[in-house]
Amino acid sequence: MKEFVVRPIGVVRSALKDPADAPKQGALTGQEAEIIVDPAYLPALDGLERRVAAAENTDFGDGGYRKGGKIIVICWMDRADRGRLKVHPQGQEELPERGVFSTRSPHRPNPVSLHTVTLLSIEGNVLRVRGMDAIDGTPVVDIKSHSPELDG
């Protein structure tokens, strides 16, 4: 099958420096981090300011727009083992191995990760988010609005 090239649009800045530090499903821990977006993509951030958590209850008067402070950050887990097809779930050796497609393991053929996070602020090309378990330096490949109807 045809291959495609991923070109990162930004990078994660976080106090989590090592994969060993990263809590499993750390989204649930409230870890804060920054997404530094390549300035070339600044126009693509336009509109995200409405997603800032503080604006959650603001009426922007444009009807169809879903309010709420959540966005989805998609990363490329560049330290993952792309050859692993089975893992012990949550790294727990006592649990039998399962196929990676039935887990959230970083190890998978295309190590794309999803992070549904709360958008705290945007200043220029810097997004501050809460609930981010990716480690410092992880390449960011996409940002999307989160929709409870589509994603919940």
Which chain residues interact with its own copies by CB under 8 A? 1-9, 11, 25, 27-28, 38, 41, 43-48, 50-51, 62, 64-65, 72, 74, 76, 78, 85-86, 89-90, 95, 97-104, 108-110, 112, 114, 116, 139, 141-145, 147-152
* Nearest-approach distance from CB 121 to its own copies, in angstroms: 15
Residue 97 three-state SS: coil
The end-to-end CA distance of the chain, in Å, is 31
* Nearest-approach distance from CB 17 to its own copies, in angstroms: 19
* Nearest-approach distance from CB 104 to its own copies, in angstroms: 6
**Cα separation values, 6 from 71, 125, 134, Å:** 20, 20, 18
**Cα separation values, 16 from 19, 87, 143, 145, Å:** 8, 23, 20, 24
Q: Which letter does DSSP use for residue 50 in this model?
A: G
Whichever of 17 and 86 has its CB closer to its own copies, that residue is 86
* Nearest-approach distance from CB 38 to its own copies, in angstroms: 7
